[in-house]
Structure 1
């Protein structure tokens, strides 16, 4: 009696746990300081779902090998600083191919402005009238927007590093007696050319012009982020509106729900009680995938949703193999308990073989793929691990606890 109660308790507890996580995934939980947001509000959405812009830049350089990799790494860091300065959340900046860098900016509304800001070479120079370079953007330690005390207009305040301060002090000392100008050039365009009246020894300078607060902030951000090491050419650009993204998400989710519901119905009709257990395990599988996305802060994309639906089929396939083995054992005259143990044991090798080969394919896609392909491969690999866990652990535990509780004894409930 105690053994029957123990197994029944295990079955009921698992159902309650799965039901609780299902409720929190859909509605969230808010009890005092303890709070779990609904999964749909917690998962990061990719460009194709949230809307935004992506752009691919190609380095205009003959560098190869380690030198090229260094240039691309430096450029990615500059891009990241510029994007952080724009306030864009969750950007994707990755190498693509040999000389290219792909940038995805979910949620950006003004695509042209974002691309102009990111792609600017931002080669800043302070030069004398004869073209002699005094200091460059590399000599600047700090740049920020301040307001001119006389005109109350926004200007860009610069602070040079120690080396830059020395060079700037020497140049202004030389130019002060003749009140000669220092020309400030950004990407071969003269921004301003203030005349030098006195030596500036403290390593500070300002850039003034017809700035708005916004344009001054952009310039300060560009200078702060640094110049690109080489020129980059924009080779591909695409904008996804938020409306298209939401529409794509809704249709994908709707398709996924219909597909999963049909699979669950088929399992229930064909395999009866094991099918019901498989449906519970399938719900567990989806919960594991969703919470993994939230905890690992993985970005969900349309290819990711496709991989999720594909991996649902793989999760069901594992259960199908197990249940067919159980049916074979029952037809051979074994008891329910013996058939379940033997069925899981015999099916495990086949399940492992098929999943390992697919997992290897996922690793290859992740290693050599870019953008959406990586999103697909990540979901596929997570799905394979989750399907193994749900098939081998959850399905087995639920099925064995139900049978060991002696609630079901008729083999017809197992489709035999």
Structure 2
């Protein structure tokens, strides 16, 4: 029987209404964008009459998420950078030299004098004057090895130590090199993202490409040169004594004090002494590690000047909190449990391996870890973006009108109902794009145009099946019911295979390819929904009202 229960109709049209509600802000793009910018400014910097007025141009009770425009639609800068990860190997070996030297000095009677030799980058060579003590020297240096902190390098150490004549050769293991490469890329991504976010650009694309490259696309920025200058900015890392911890931003932190929010604890603020004990310029390294209990932690090391200041302060303030501040946000505030001489220390807590790695990344985020070579740079003007939007509009309108006319001429009243569902389908696509915060690119518009054609394909299958059923002298109600039932398998087969293709494009592709895959995949979901449920619901409502004895498809 051709019937859809009331609760199913409510669910079907409720989902359609929800999709259209989320799509609606895109009809008032500039107004909603002004509202969103004002709300963000109020949250970050406080309310002013101008900001409150700008925030009031759009009702706060309505959805305010927009489809973000990609670089090719808004204009901006594009960079492809290669990170010179080999630079980090040399820095790591330079950092190991003081530890190796101090460890060998404790067995000087057996190894003799110790001298560092010139070597290729990423390799530490140390000559001892008594080669007969090489076995002892190797044992002492190997004791300095630490476990590799990565899921793929579990069970491996970070350095390998070998003897060549009277020289000790120290270098990173393959597992540690891979982990170091990943941390270096992750650190670079974090620094770039923080620098770009500071200028308030909308939806920048900052992602890893391959083994050692980073793709940076920032809509709305003036030029590639401006973006390169922005990326080169050095983050401000400082270490402050903690005065007190509070759950709200204090109105008056006190003379020569500052108040900074916690990065990870929402609603938590720290009042700190304005003058830092140590600055980030004196931090030479920070690495994820494991503490004496085998739990993930973070080790850090200062240069001699910073080490002296840090050791003196920790000796005089055992039991106090010590805040690590990055760009005026407290990323960690550990308690000083004991004096920490020598300029190195360890941060412990309830960390996972990923969290300890991330904290080490943030600690090192004061400067880019390695030099970046820009392999590709482009500046896309806003005029070109406007032209792309206009061309995309024309393509969508032409495809849309052609499909509407074809369906109306081919299937009459049923074709008009399919056209209504098609209009709702486009609205739901934009509603989903807005809800998930997706970025629309020029290839994404191509995906929408393709979806328009595919959306009616399901209706064509249903209507042709209904025609076949009508030829067997069945009644209109039974013909419509069988038409939907027998066409369903073909609809699902065709759309599932296309959805699998879209998924592969999204997982394996990047940039424009992923933009196309997103709109294509979402379009398939909405197309199947509107063809199988919405169009059928419209036909059932019409049939219940008219009760025709015969129908023409």
Q: What is the TM-score with the length of structure 1 in the denominator?
A: 0.69
Q: CA deviation at 1:170?
A: 3.8
What is the aligned counterpart of 1:98 among 193, 202, 211? 211
What is the aligned counterpart of 1:44 among 68, 77, 80? 68
Asked if 1:54 corresponds to 2:54, the answer is no
Equivalences for 1:9-24 in 2 at 5 Å?
A: none
Give the 3 Å change call, closer, same or farther, for CA 376–78 of structure 1 in structure 2. Answer: same
Q: Distance in 2 between matches of 1:77 and 1:251?
A: 36
What is the aligned counterpart of 2:551 among 402, 411, 416? 411
What is the aligned counterpart of 2:192 among 54, 79, 97? 79
Q: Distance in 1 between matches of 2:455 and 2:448?
A: 10
Give the 3 Å change call, closer, same or farther, for CA 224–110 of structure 1 in structure 2. Answer: farther
Q: CA deviation at 1:254?
A: 1.7
Give the 3 Å change call, closer, same or farther, for CA 19–158 of structure 1 in structure 2. Answer: closer
Q: CA deviation at 1:362?
A: 0.9
What is the aligned counterpart of 1:343 among 469, 479, 483? 483
Q: CA offsets, 1:76-125, max 9 Å, x none? A: 111111112333232111111222110110000143122122156x5x9x
Structure that is richer in helix per residue: 1
Does the Cα contact within 8 Å between 2:506 and 2:514 map onto a contact in 1? yes
Q: Distance in 2 between matches of 1:24 and 1:68?
A: 42
Which range is displaced more, 68-77 or 369-378?
Answer: 68-77
Q: Distance in 2 between matches of 1:24 and 1:52?
A: 23
Asked if 1:304 corresponds to 2:444, the answer is yes
What is the aligned counterpart of 2:229 among 116, 122, 141? 116
Q: Distance in 2 between matches of 1:88 and 1:393?
A: 40
Does the Cα contact within 8 Å between 2:78 and 2:377 map onto a contact in 1? yes
Over the aligned positions, Cα root-mean-square deviation in angstroms equals 3.8
Q: Which residue of 1 aligns with 2:278?
A: 160
Q: Distance in 2 between matches of 1:232 and 1:32?
A: 45
Q: CA deviation at 1:61?
A: 3.0
Q: CA deviation at 1:356?
A: 0.8
Which secondary structure state, in structure 1, belongs to the residue aligned with residue 375 of structure 2?
strand
Give the 3 Å change call, closer, same or farther, for CA 231–25 of structure 1 in structure 2. Answer: closer
Q: CA deviation at 1:140?
A: 3.8
Does the Cα contact within 8 Å between 2:455 and 2:524 map onto a contact in 1? yes
Number of aligned residue pairs: 328
What is the aligned counterpart of 2:405 among 251, 261, 265? 265
Does the Cα contact within 8 Å between 2:79 and 2:224 map onto a contact in 1? no
Q: What is the TM-score with the length of structure 2 in the denominator?
A: 0.53
Q: CA deviation at 1:269?
A: 0.8
What is the aligned counterpart of 1:276 among 409, 413, 416? 416
Q: Which residue of 1 aligns with 2:468?
A: 328
Q: CA deviation at 1:265?
A: 1.0
Q: Which residue of 1 aligns with 2:430?
A: 290
Does the Cα contact within 8 Å between 2:81 and 2:215 map onto a contact in 1? yes
Which secondary structure state, in structure 2, belongs to the residue aligned with residue 411 of structure 1?
coil
Give the 3 Å change call, closer, same or farther, for CA 224–72 of structure 1 in structure 2. Answer: closer
Give the 3 Å change call, closer, same or farther, for CA 79–158 of structure 1 in structure 2. Answer: farther
Does the Cα contact within 8 Å between 1:18 and 1:284 map onto a contact in 2? no
Does the Cα contact within 8 Å between 1:278 and 1:395 map onto a contact in 2? yes
**Unpaired stretches in structure 2, ≥5 consecutive residues:** 33-56, 87-173, 241-274, 280-299, 311-362
Does the Cα contact within 8 Å between 1:277 and 1:395 map onto a contact in 2? yes
Asked if 1:359 corresponds to 2:477, the answer is no
Give the 3 Å change call, closer, same or farther, for CA 105–31 of structure 1 in structure 2. Answer: closer
Q: Which residue of 2 aligns with 1:204?
A: none
Equivalences for 1:207-286 in 2 at 5 Å?
A: 225-286=365-426
